[in-house]
């Protein structure tokens, strides 16, 4: 793992000398700056949706735990179906789901779905395939051994590996854990993420807007994005104006209270961009990254005290892309997740677009029918402006246009991350 090595106290120096790095390297640097939080807590299964599993585990209980009937019908012993049919067997008992299996000597046993198949019985004939004459069941066709029986352990054997530590629990995984009889589960503690919107021009929605001001879009976008991450909680420090003092104070407080601090805005090398200075003056370490990507060229990654620091650019589309591609993987790692990368899906372009071959471009896209090879077809939205709220609001995903390509044509293979 490479620790961020340089402290840039002067953003002008960073802008002038920083080499441009590929987006994968930038994402790897952010990832390397994140050390998984150690704390865990044991919580009720009902509260564990979306949480990060702290330890892997093995199955203590085979599933199903006993041989059970997959059908309503009659359990039989094949040795009673010798010769040629039809066979007539007396009904000697009845077992429903939940009944304790009783010793049964022979004949046919009326059995219902989910009930335990009595020992020695090797098939269940579904009720539609036999007929009852008084207390005798008539079977025309000999079932094969094991027919309509779910064998103990056929789904999961005792001692088999369940999930690995670092998995994010889904509804279906929780169902499996419940099937194991677990009432609670050990998960990583939630990471706490401090959010700071820098910019003297920003107002919160609902406040009056003066000339030259704009509303804060990034705050709600990042809050909403992080809402979906059940492994994180947000401490929102609101808007901080572009002064060294205000940004330093906000960073000091956020880094002392949070596991990670995300800022938006103030990361280019402009006169009002004080984030690097504030991180450096607060004793933080910082990599100022000039990333060969559009949108989102300036990104800062480092640590302030014990907190991971992620400084994202302020244009909403740039904020969104750098959050998804660079910040979120690092936050996932911080939270203890093993799979951290975005899940790219293959698709084909339904648009043409000129791009520079020396950088990765990310464009908002919507899906349309008619892609070749059964792949989704993507329509680019907007003209690639990093400030376009309209384009990102209409998007169903973000497509990545790889470096090396200087043109995307209709039919070019691409990948995208669904919204």
Give how far Cα 358 sits from Cα of 17, 129, 265, 403, Å: 18, 69, 25, 5
Give yes or no for a contact between 247 and 240, defined as CB atoms under 8 angstroms apart.
yes
d(CA 335, CA 317): 25
CB of 246 to ligand AMP, least distance (A): 14
Binder among 67, 104, 218, 248 for ligand AMP (CB under 6 A) = 218
Binder among 18, 73, 153, 316 for ligand AMP (CB under 6 A) = 316
275 binds ligand AMP (CB under 6 A): no
DSSP label at 201?
T
Q: Within 175-194, which residues bind ligand AMP (CB under 6 A)? A: none
Binder among 68, 248, 276, 315 for ligand AMP (CB under 6 A) = 315
266 binds ligand AMP (CB under 6 A): yes
d(CA 148, CA 157): 19
199 binds ligand AMP (CB under 6 A): yes
Compute how many other C-beta atoms are within 10 angstroms of the C-beta atom of residue 226.
Answer: 20
d(CA 255, CA 304): 6
276 binds ligand AMP (CB under 6 A): no
| Residue 87 buriedness (CB in 10 A; 0-12 / 13-18 / 19+) | buried
267 binds ligand AMP (CB under 6 A): yes
CB of 237 to ligand AMP, least distance (A): 12
Q: Which stretch, 135-143, 157-165, 197-205, 391-399, contacts ligand AMP (CB under 6 A)? A: 197-205
Give how far Cα 350 sits from Cα of 11, 347, 365, 368, 374, Å: 40, 9, 10, 8, 14
The residue written with tokens 């000697």 in the block is 92
Q: Please give the backbone phi and psi of residue 130, each rounded to the nearest 5 degrees, phi first.
A: -145, 170
Binder among 68, 69, 104, 217 for ligand AMP (CB under 6 A) = 217
What residue number has its CB nearest to Mg ion? 265
313 binds, among ligand AMP, Mg ion, none (CB under 5 to 8 A by kind): ligand AMP
CB of 214 to ligand AMP, least distance (A): 6
Select 201 or 233, whichever has its Cβ closest to ligand AMP: 201
Binder among 72, 99, 201, 253 for ligand AMP (CB under 6 A) = 201
Compute how many other C-beta atoms are within 10 angstroms of the C-beta atom of residue 316.
Answer: 22
255 binds, among Mg ion, ligand AMP, none (CB under 5 to 8 A by kind): none
Q: Provide the b/e sequence for 8-29 (b: ≥16 CB within 10 Å).
A: beebeebbeebeebebbebbbb
Site string for ligand AMP, 4-43 (x = CB under 6 A): ----------------------------------------
The CB-side HSE value for 221 (13 A sphere, CA atoms) comes to 23
d(CA 20, CA 17): 9
Contacting residues toward Mg ion, per CB under 5 A: 199, 265-266, 314
Binder among 116, 216, 255, 317 for ligand AMP (CB under 6 A) = 216
* Footprint on this chain of ligand AMP (rule: CB under 6 A): 197, 199, 201-202, 214, 216-219, 264-268, 270, 313-316
């Amino acid at each position: 793992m490479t620790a961020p090595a340089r402290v840039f106290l002067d953003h002008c120096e960073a802008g002038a000398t920083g080499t441009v790095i590929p987006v994968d390297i930038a994402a790897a640097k952010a990832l390397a700056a994140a050390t998984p939080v150690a704390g865990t807590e044991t919580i009720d299964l009902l509260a564990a949706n979306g949480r990060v599993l702290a330890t892997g585990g093995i199955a203590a209980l085979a599933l199903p735990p006993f041989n059970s009937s997959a059908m309503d019908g009659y359990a039989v012993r094949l040795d009673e179906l010798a010769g040629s049919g039809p066979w007539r067997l007396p009904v000697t008992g009845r077992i429903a789901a939940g009944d304790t299996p009783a010793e049964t000597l022979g004949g046919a046993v009326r059995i219902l779905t989910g009930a335990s198949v009595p020992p020695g019985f090797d098939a269940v004939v579904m009720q539609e395939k036999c007929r009852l004459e008084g207390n005798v069941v008539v079977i025309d066709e000999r079932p094969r051994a094991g027919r309509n029986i779910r064998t103990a352990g056929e789904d999961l054997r005792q001692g088999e590996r369940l999930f690995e530590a670092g998995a994010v629990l889904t509804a279906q995984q929780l169902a499996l854990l419940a099937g194991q009889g677990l009432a609670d589960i050990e998960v990583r503690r939630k990471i706490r993420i401090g959010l700071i919107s820098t910019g003297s021009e920003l107002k919160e929605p609902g406040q009056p807007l003066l000339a030259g001001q704009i509303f804060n879009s990034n705050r709600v976008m990042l809050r909403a994005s992080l809402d979906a991450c059940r492994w994180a909680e947000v401490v929102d420090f609101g808007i901080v104006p572009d002064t060294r003092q205000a940004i330093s104070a906000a960073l000091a407080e956020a880094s002392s209270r949070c596991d990670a601090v995300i800022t938006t805005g103030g990361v280019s090398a402009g006169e009002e961009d004080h984030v690097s200075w504030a991180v450096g003056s607060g004793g933080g370490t910082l990599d100022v990254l000039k990333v060969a990507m559009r949108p989102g060229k300036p990104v800062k990654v480092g640590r302030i005290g014990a907190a991971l620091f992620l400084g994202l650019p302020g244009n909403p589309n740039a904020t969104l892309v750098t959050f998804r591609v660079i910040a979120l993987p690092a936050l996932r790692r911080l939270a203890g997740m093993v799979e951290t990368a975005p899940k790219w899906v293959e698709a084909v372009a339904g648009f043409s677009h000129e791009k520079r071959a020396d950088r990765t471009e990310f464009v908002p896209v919507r899906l349309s029918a008619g892609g070749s090879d059964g792949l989704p077809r993507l329509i680019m939205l907007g003209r690639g402006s990093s400030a376009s709220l309209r384009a990102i609001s209409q998007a169903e995903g973000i497509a990545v246009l790889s470096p090396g390509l200087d043109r995307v044509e209709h039919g070019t293979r691409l990948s995208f991350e669904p919204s």
